[in-house]
Structure 1
Amino acid sequence: KDGAYAKVKEELDALLKRRHPEQRAADSAMQTFYKQLPEAQKRVDAIIADHAKRKKDLGLQPVLNEAKLAKEKQFDTLKPRSQW
Structure 2
Amino acid sequence: MIIIVALIFILRAMTRMDNTATAEKPKDNAPYPVATDREISSRVLLGSEGRVVIEHGGQRYLLRQTHAGKLILTSKRPAERGARQVSSSS
Same-fold call, TM > 0.5?
no
TM-score with structure 1 length normalisation? Answer: 0.32
Greater C-alpha Rg: 2
Which is richer in strand?
A: 2
Which is richer in helix?
A: 1
TM-score with structure 2 length normalisation? Answer: 0.31
Which has the higher relative contact order, 1 or 2, with Cα contacts under 8 A spaced 6 or more apart? 1
